[in-house]
């Protein structure tokens, strides 16, 4: 029986997400005026474009409380080592988390890995971005067809402000160390680039580029990312009991403590004293045998927010975040959205 895959649409009165089973684009976020804010395009594996992949799974799931959506996809590139690409996307309150998993399924040669290209369709006004290892935030105004960054070090955060004030941002997830794996491997490099292409700002991410002489290990890879976009603010703030965050949220001990408090909650909660942590403690990731594993705990915060609101919504309560002032991400959309309780998301088409 032939499988029938059609694009999905879902969102609120303020924004819409459209996901595609095949073709150049994985998903696209637009606002209420049908203005595209963020586009995530497919990558390339071992020299084969993911655009040629054949879809096997393409499902949109809506949570029972309607506060979040999840997208599950799987496709196979029918050439070479037949890479399998899986994506799991969780969407809530104007922000999302995406896990991309790739694995070679055949005996053909494996090779370079280029992750999804991120597009911010113009006209845009200015960008802010951070490079791993650099202390300052780079801020640039619009310049047509200009190259703003090209190098082997990871641009782990980028935010674009469009003309009119709306914004969108893309953040490397908790596994910065995977995106930087080439920096610790012989015969492997990375190439990242931020540039304007006829009015559209593009982030390109070739995370693993192997020298011709390098023997490539056949192993699966998994990469995490986050993204967010402007939404209308609900100024109504409900009272909530403070729940301080004691340290890096990637720590399993910290997570267990906070989840236990959320389970026992008798009122809405607000996570306080949160500052984004750029951390290298490998034990936080249950890999104490490694010397250092670079990570940021924003994804752990997002996951805790989703899980906490799923638990508390059953009691008509919510979980929000009160970030401390910080120089790392002073105007992050993700942190702004997590400071408010999630709003229901509706599918625009039958699932």
pLDDT of residue 348: 59
**How far apart (Å, rounded) are the C-alpha atoms in residues 100 and 102?**
7
Separation between Cα atoms, residue 172 and residue 234, nearest integer Å? 27
Take residue 16 and report the two structure tokens written for it: 């819409």
Query: Which residues of the chain are under the pLDDT cut of 50?
Result: 1-2, 350-351
CB atoms < 10 A from the CB of 310, how many?
18
> Are 114 and 105 a contacting pair, CB within 8 Å?
no
For the chain, the domains span: 8-229, 241-347
Please give the distance of CA 115 from its chain centroid, rounded to a whole number.
12
In the CATH hierarchy, which fold is given to the domain comprising 8-229? Beta-galactosidase; Chain A, domain 5 (2.70.98)
How far is residue 148's CA from residue 278's CA, in Å, rounded to a whole number?
24
- Residues in contact with 280: Cβ distance below 8 Å, sequence separation at least 6, in sequence order: 292, 293, 294, 295
pLDDT in tens, 303-348: 999 999 999 999 999 999 998 878 899 899 999 999 999 988 876 5
| % of residues, the chain, pLDDT over 90 | 72
**Residue among 262, 126, 256 at smallest CA distance from 194:** 126
CA atoms within 13 A of residue 333's CA, in its CB half-sphere? 27
DSSP 8-state secondary structure symbol assigned to residue 329 = S
Tell me 206's DSSP state: E
User: What is the reported pLDDT for 290?
Assistant: 65
How far is 190 from 183, CA to CA, in rounded Å?
8
User: Using CA atoms, how far apart are residues 26 and 73, in angstroms rounded to an integer?
Assistant: 10
Neighbours of 76 (CB within 10 A): 16
Query: How far apart (Å, rounded) are the C-alpha atoms in residues 256 and 31?
Result: 37
* DSSP letter (8 states) at residue 183: G
Exposure of 235 by Cβ count < 10 A (0-12 exposed, 13-18 middle, 19+ buried)? Answer: exposed
Q: Which residues of 143-167 are buried (b: 16+ CB within 10 A; e: fewer)?
A: eeeeebbeeeebbbbbbbbbeeebb
Output Rg (C-alpha) for the chain, integer angstroms. 20
Please name the residue that has the structure tokens 């490694």: 290
pLDDT at 176: 94
pTM to 2 decimal places: 0.93
Instruction: Cis check for the bond before 214: say yes or no (omega within 30 of 0).
Output: no
Q: How far apart are CA 59 and CA 287, in angstroms?
A: 32
Per residue in 279-304, pLDDT (tens digit) is 888 877 766 656 778 899 999 999 99
Q: For residue 82, what pLDDT is reported?
A: 93
DSSP class of 42: -
């Amino acid at each position: 029986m032939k499988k029938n895959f059609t694009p999905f649409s879902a969102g609120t009165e303020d924004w819409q997400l459209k996901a595609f089973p095949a073709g150049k684009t994985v998903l696209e976020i637009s606002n209420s005026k049908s203005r595209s804010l963020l586009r995530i395009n497919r990558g390339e594996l071992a020299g084969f474009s993911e655009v040629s992949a054949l879809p096997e799974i393409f499902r949109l799931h809506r949570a029972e409380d309607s506060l979040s959506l999840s997208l599950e996809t799987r496709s196979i590139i029918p050439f070479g080592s037949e890479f399998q690409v899986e994506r799991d996307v969780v969407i809530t309150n104007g922000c999302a988390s995406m896990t991309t998993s790739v694995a070679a399924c055949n005996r053909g040669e494996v090779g370079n890995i280029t992750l999804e290209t991120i597009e911010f369709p113009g006209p845009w006004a200015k960008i802010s971005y951070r490079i791993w290892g650099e202390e300052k935030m780079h801020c640039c105004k619009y310049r047509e067809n200009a190259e703003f960054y090209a190098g082997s070090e990871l641009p782990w955060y980028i935010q674009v402000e469009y003309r009119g004030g709306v914004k969108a941002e893309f953040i490397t997830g908790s596994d910065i160390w995977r995106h930087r794996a080439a920096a610790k491997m012989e015969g492997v490099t990375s190439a990242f680039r931020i540039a304007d292409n006829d009015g559209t700002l593009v982030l390109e991410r070739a995370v693993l580029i192997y020298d011709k002489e390098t023997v490539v290990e056949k192993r699966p890879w998994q990469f995490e990312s986050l993204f967010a976009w402007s939404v209308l603010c609900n100024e109504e703030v409900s009272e909530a009991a403070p729940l301080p965050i004691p340290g890096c949220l990637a720590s399993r001990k910290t997570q267990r403590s906070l989840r236990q408090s959320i389970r026992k909650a008798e009122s809405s909660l607000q996570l306080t004293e949160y500052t984004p942590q750029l951390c290298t403690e490998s034990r936080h990731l249950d890999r104490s045998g490694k010397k250092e594993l670079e990570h940021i705990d924003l994804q752990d915060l997002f996951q805790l927010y989703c899980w906490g609101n799923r638990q508390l919504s059953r009691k008509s309560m919510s979980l929000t975040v009160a970030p401390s002032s910080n120089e790392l991400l002073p105007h992050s959309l993700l942190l702004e959205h997590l400071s408010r309780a999630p709003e229901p998301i509706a599918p625009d088409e039958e699932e």
